[in-house]
Amino acid sequence: MTQATVTTQASADDVLTVAREQVLERGIGLSREQTLGVLRLADDRLEQLLELAHEVRVKWCGPEVEMEGIISLKTGGCPEDCHFCSQSGLFASPVRAAWLDIPSLVEAAKQTAKTGATEFCIVAAVRGPDERLMAQVAAGVEAIRNEVDIQVACSLGMLTRDQVDRLAAMGVHRYNHNLETARSHFPNVVTTHTWEERWDTLRMVREAGMEVCCGGILGMGETLEQRAEFAADLAALAPDEVPLNFLDPRPGTPFGDLEVLPAADALRAVAAFRLALPRTILRFAGGREITLGDLGARQGILGGINAVIVGNYLTTLGRPAEQDLDLLGELRMPIKALNETF
């Protein structure tokens, strides 16, 4: 064994030993520096890391896995320039603006409830809602609450105080608004609004009593330091749920030519975010198929994830809901057989 290898192994042991005592035993999430140490772990420590992340998830979140459906009320034609997003109207992307009607929305909520999902999230590709969208959402939420036994969440971009209060009064249970990436990397990803504007919406959502759902996308050219910074940003926000996406480079977007995040890096990041956010619902969102393939469903979930989106995502095809349902039995099992795959 070379000196360099010995050093790597020793420091890896240190990070995971500290994490076991601090996060698993005491429930205190990793700091930014500690998270960076985890993100720098060598591939031969990945199995040990995923195992610890899974133990942390089970201890602090329990064995349940939350399932959520997602529907696009207004698709495409967004005036913002988030460089990863095929719904921006500023890029040569294939997604054209379209609206869904209320009966279709209710039907989608019914189908989602049948899968066993407990959350149904209404999404619109907008900077923030205008009156037309607020009226559509109000009608949709009321119709769903009357006909379907499911919690309704919304993701409608940046909100004013008045809009936050109105959504809360409608009975919206959770609001999703992603910070997307570390504060220091955000200007490289979005130029039409700021990270701080997003933060302000999240603060108001919390103050209005709705659950906060906030995550982002990994693999957008951020450094490991910025990935750790993002985990620390989220830990400071303490959201109820963190959806983790991996960049699925969409043709025609400014990030269309970026490389897909290697599977080992994605898994390491999932586990690191779990160790930074021991009590949060950590959800696999878009991009997992392209990054992780079949690995993602099993190792990623066993490595700290405790929620999934069922069925299709907003603009790309996800896995059929049945495949996720098949996984639920496995999700309660302790990690095993990772060596067979790595």
Segment interacting with ligand SF4 (CB under 6 A) among 16-24, 81-89, 235-243, 265-273? 81-89
Give the burial class of 1: count Cβ atoms within 10 A of its Cβ; 0-12 exposed, 13-18 middle, 19 or more buried. exposed
Q: How far apart are CA 270 and CA 273, in angstroms?
A: 5
Out of 35, 72, 87, 201, the residue judged to bind ligand SF4 by CB under 6 A:
87
Segment interacting with ligand SF4 (CB under 6 A) among 77-85, 232-240, 266-274, 297-305? 77-85
Q: Does 95 bind ligand SF4 (CB under 6 A)?
A: no
If binding means CB under 6 A, how many residues of this protein chain bind ligand SF4? 9
Q: How far apart are CA 314 and CA 245, in angstroms?
A: 12
Minimum distance of ligand SF4 from residue 200's CB (angstroms)? 15
Give the burial class of 63: count Cβ atoms within 10 A of its Cβ; 0-12 exposed, 13-18 middle, 19 or more buried. exposed
Q: Does 129 bind ligand SF4 (CB under 6 A)?
A: no
Q: Does 125 bind ligand SF4 (CB under 6 A)?
A: yes
Out of 140, 157, 254, 286, the residue judged to bind ligand SF4 by CB under 6 A:
157
61 marked ligand binding residue? no
Q: Does 85 bind ligand SF4 (CB under 6 A)?
A: yes
Give the burial class of 257: count Cβ atoms within 10 A of its Cβ; 0-12 exposed, 13-18 middle, 19 or more buried. exposed
Q: How far apart are CA 99 and CA 82, in angstroms?
A: 21
Q: How far apart are CA 95 and CA 182, in angstroms?
A: 27
Q: How far apart are CA 95 and CA 87, in angstroms?
A: 6
Q: How far apart are CA 24 and CA 103, in angstroms?
A: 46
Minimum distance of ligand SF4 from residue 299's CB (angstroms)? 28
Q: How far apart are CA 240 and CA 149, in angstroms?
A: 21
Minimum distance of ligand SF4 from residue 281's CB (angstroms)? 21
Q: Does 248 bind ligand SF4 (CB under 6 A)?
A: no
Minimum distance of ligand SF4 from residue 342's CB (angstroms)? 33
Footprint on this chain of ligand SF4 (rule: CB under 6 A):
78, 80, 82, 85, 87-88, 125, 127, 157
Annotated binding site: 78, 82, 85, 121, 213, 283
Annotated binding site for [2Fe-2S] cluster: 121, 213, 283
